Each structure stands twice: as structure tokens, then as C-alpha cells.
Amino acid sequence: MRVVRIGSCNSRSRGRSVPLIGIVGPCASGKSTLALSLRAAGYAVKEIAQEHSVVPDMWQRLTSPDVLIYLDVDPAEGAARQGLDVIPSWWREEREVRLRHAREHCDVYVDTTGMTPSAVVSRILMALNELGIPCVARR
């Protein structure tokens, strides 16, 4: 089941002239692919390696994005995306401990399981539009 949650990002706004979008999620959820697509569409994006940090709110401390996107994926599909036959044991800690704070505070949550990269990008673009987040003016 694909869950999409859209919240309010106004509480984290830093008064930037260009809103910064942060992307977090477990390994193989599609963070890098989404970041490339959003940058190409004119958004200011930062991939946050929260899944590799034991500091629960590292995403806030280092990046403090105006909008936080959490991409999720079923562990079995994530392993398949990485060409693994077995789900790594540390993925459980990654999801339950390292990513909990970001998941609880995200503005947009999308489970990418079973979705194509273009479907994920389309859904995120719709969510950003619903949140009123403009892209950077193209040069």
C-alpha cells in the first residue's frame, strides 16, 4: 500500500529566497534519483544521509530544510534494487532508530515500493505544488 502524507512546512521556513528541499529515507528508496530529477526541474535540493547517522535529528542540525521529503521502500524491494539476495540486518535499525525522527517530522511521505522513478517524481512534484513550493527560476 502506498501512503502519501502531506503536512505543513511553514514551521521550518528559514526565510530563504529559494526554499530548500531535504530528502531522507532508507537505502534504495530513490533519494538520489529524485534529487537529480528535482534539480533538473529547478528546485534546490539536498540529499540527507540520515540513514547513516546515529544522531536522530541530524537532518535538522546540518541542513534544516524548508521541506522534508521522506521516501520509503519495502526492505525486500530495496534489497532487490541493490541487487542483494538477502536483506541486510542493519536495515532494521536504520528504519526503526536512525530514520524515526525524520519520518515523524517529514512534510511529504511517499512509499516508493512498486513505483517507477517517473511516478515518484510526478507524485513529489504534485506534493510540492500543493505545499506552494516554487522551483528556482531558470537561468
Domain CATH code at residue 64? 3.40.50.300
- Asked if residue 138 is part of any domain, the answer here is no
Give dist(CA 136, CA 2) in Å, integer.
29
44 within 8 A of 21, measured Cβ to Cβ? yes
pLDDT at 83: 87
Please say if the pLDDT value at position 7 is more than 90. Answer: no
What is d(CA 21, CA 35) in angstroms, rounded to the nearest whole number?
Answer: 9
Distance of CA 8 to the CA centre of its chain: 15
Q: Is residue 136 assigned to a domain? A: no
| 91 is a domain residue | yes
Question: Does 35 map to a domain?
Answer: yes
Q: In this predicted structure, which of 44-48, 103-107, 131-135 has the lowest mean pLDDT? A: 131-135
Q: How far apart are the first and last CA of the chain?
A: 40
Look up the domain containing 106 and give its range.
4-131
Structural domain contains residue 127? yes
Each residue of 25-83: pLDDT tens digit?
Answer: 998 999 999 999 999 999 999 999 878 778 888 888 888 999 999 999 998 888 888 88
The answer as to whether 139 is a domain residue is no
- The string of DSSP codes covering the chain is ---EEE---GGG----SSPEEEEE-STTSSHHHHHHHHHHTT-EEEE--GGG-SSTTHIIIII--SEEEEEE--HHHHHHHTT-SS--THHHHIIIIITHHHHHH-SEEEE-TT--HHHHHHHHHHHHHHHT-PPPPP-
37 is written with which cell numbers? 530529477
Q: How high is the pLDDT of residue 86?
A: 87
Number of domains composing the chain: 1
Cα–Cα distance measured from residue 139 to residue 137, given in angstroms and rounded to the nearest whole number: 6
